[in-house]
Amino acid sequence: MTVKKKPDLDQTFINIVCERIQNNQRIHRLFQEDSVIHMDHQVPFLCIYRCKEKSKEKKIASFIRGEISFLIVNGKKSIVPFVRNLTDQTIASLTNLFGGFLLLELWEGELSDANQITDPTAVTPGFKIYVPEFDSEDYGSTHDTLQENLTYIRVHKQRATAEIVYLKKIVPPGLSLLLADSRRQTLNCHYIGLEVSPIYSNPINGDHYPLIVRQLHRGISHALRRTFFEFTRKHTSHRPKHYHALGRRAVTKYVWEIDRELTEISESFDFLLQVTPINTLSAWHAFKRNGFARAPVFHYRPHPVDPTFLKRRLYNIKIVKIEDPTLAALFREKRTELDRQISMLPDRGSANFLYGSLQLYEKVSNDLLQTAETILEKISGRSGNTGKSGYMSPDKFAKRAEEEFELYRQQDSNFSAKVEVTSKVTGLIVSQGNLYIGPDTKIPVKRAEALIQHEVGTHILTYYNGKQQRFQLLACGLSGYEEFQEGLAVLSEYLAGSLSRPRLRLLAGRVVAAHYLEQGATFIETFRRLDRNHDFSQRIAYDITMRIYRGGGLTKDAIYLRGLINIIKYIREGGDIRLLLVGKISSRHVPIIEELQLRGIIIPPKINPSYLELPETSERLTQLAQKQPALEFVDMII
- Give the end of a domain, one of 212, 247, 282: 247
Average pLDDT over residues 146-152: 96
Question: What is the dihedral sign for C-alpha 23, 27, 29, 35?
Answer: positive
> How far from chain centre, in Å, is Cα 48?
29
Distance CA 629, CA 616 (A): 19
Distance CA 512, CA 526 (A): 9
Residue 540 burial (10 A CB sphere; 0-12, 13-18, 19+): middle
Residues 499 and 565 reside in one and the same domain: yes
Least-confidence region, from 142-156, 424-438, 467-481, 531-545: 424-438
CA angle 377, 491, 278 (to 5 degrees): 80
Average pLDDT over residues 68-89: 90
Residues 291 and 210 reside in one and the same domain: no
Residues 164 and 201 reside in one and the same domain: yes
Average pLDDT over residues 263-283: 92
Whether 157 maps to a domain, the answer reads yes
Q: What is the pLDDT of residues 490-546, one digit of tens each?
A: 999 999 988 988 999 999 999 999 999 999 999 999 999 999 999 999 999 999 999
pLDDT value at position 386?
Answer: 46
Ramachandran bin of 535, using left for φ above 0, alpha for ψ from -120 to 50, beta for the remaining angles: left
Q: For strands 428-431 and 189-196, give the pairing.
A: unpaired
| % residues pLDDT > 70 (the chain) | 93
Whether 343 maps to a domain, the answer reads no
CA angle 497, 511, 580 (to 5 degrees): 50
Residue 378 burial (10 A CB sphere; 0-12, 13-18, 19+): middle
pLDDT band at 243 (very low <50, low <70, confident <90, very high): confident
**Is 442:426 a contact under the CB 8 Å cutoff?**
no
Distance CA 638, CA 628 (A): 17
Residues 280 and 194 reside in one and the same domain: no
Q: What is the pLDDT of residues 330-386, one digit of tens each?
A: 999 999 999 999 999 999 999 899 999 999 999 999 999 999 999 999 898 866 544
Residues 220 and 286 reside in one and the same domain: no
What are the CA-CA distances from residue 475 to residues 367, 541, 569 (Å)?
31, 33, 24
> How far from chain centre, in Å, is Cα 124?
27
Residues 176 and 277 reside in one and the same domain: no
Closest among 159, 148, 150 to 121, alpha carbons compared:
159
Residues 459 and 424 reside in one and the same domain: yes
**DSSP assignment string, 21-35:** HHTT--EEEEETTTE
- Bridge partners (DSSP) listed for residue 429: 436
- Looking at residue 411, its amino acid is Q
Residue 110's CB is within 10 A of a number of other CB atoms, namely 9
Q: What is the pLDDT of residues 21-77, one digit of tens each?
A: 999 999 999 988 788 999 998 999 999 999 876 545 567 888 998 899 999 998 788
Residues 374 and 514 reside in one and the same domain: yes
- Bridge partners (DSSP) listed for residue 627: none
- Give the end of a domain, one of 247, 262, 296: 247
Whether 342 maps to a domain, the answer reads no
Whether 319 maps to a domain, the answer reads no
Whether 257 maps to a domain, the answer reads no
- Looking at residue 451, its amino acid is L
Closest among 104, 127, 129 to 48, alpha carbons compared:
104
Long-range contact set of residues 401-410: C-beta below 8 Å, sequence gap at least 24: 401/435, 401/452, 401/455, 401/456, 404/452, 404/456, 404/457, 404/610, 405/456, 407/610, 408/461, 408/464, 408/607
Q: Does the pLDDT of residue 293 top 60, yes or no?
A: yes
- Looking at residue 171, its amino acid is V
- Parent domain of 94: 11-247
- Looking at residue 254, its amino acid is Y
Q: Does the pLDDT of residue 278 top 60, yes or no?
A: yes
> How far from chain centre, in Å, is Cα 202?
31
| % residues pLDDT > 90 (the chain) | 66
**Is 462:446 a contact under the CB 8 Å cutoff?**
no
- Average pLDDT over the chain, rounded to an integer: 89
Whether 473 maps to a domain, the answer reads yes
Distance CA 405, CA 418 (A): 8
Distance CA 461, CA 453 (A): 10
Q: What is the CATH number of the domain that holds 78?
A: 3.40.630
Domain count across the chain: 2
Q: Does the pLDDT of residue 265 top 80, yes or no?
A: yes
Whether 280 maps to a domain, the answer reads yes
Three-state DSSP state, 469: coil
Distance CA 236, CA 102 (A): 10
pLDDT value at position 637?
Answer: 61
Residues 193 and 281 reside in one and the same domain: no
pLDDT band at 598 (very low <50, low <70, confident <90, very high): confident
pLDDT value at position 146?
Answer: 96
- Which of 103-117, 201-215, 308-322, 587-601 tops mean pLDDT? 308-322
Whether 252 maps to a domain, the answer reads no
Containing H/E element for 286? helix 280-289
pLDDT value at position 503?
Answer: 92
Closest among 190, 208, 188, 189 to 198, alpha carbons compared:
208
Containing H/E element for 486? helix 481-495
Residues 462 and 541 reside in one and the same domain: yes
Containing H/E element for 101? strand 101-108
pLDDT value at position 57?
Answer: 52
- Bridge partners (DSSP) listed for residue 165: 130
Distance CA 172, CA 311 (A): 45
pLDDT value at position 200?
Answer: 87
Residues 141 and 221 reside in one and the same domain: yes
Q: Does the pLDDT of residue 118 top 70, yes or no?
A: no
pLDDT band at 625 (very low <50, low <70, confident <90, very high): confident
Residues 361 and 416 reside in one and the same domain: yes
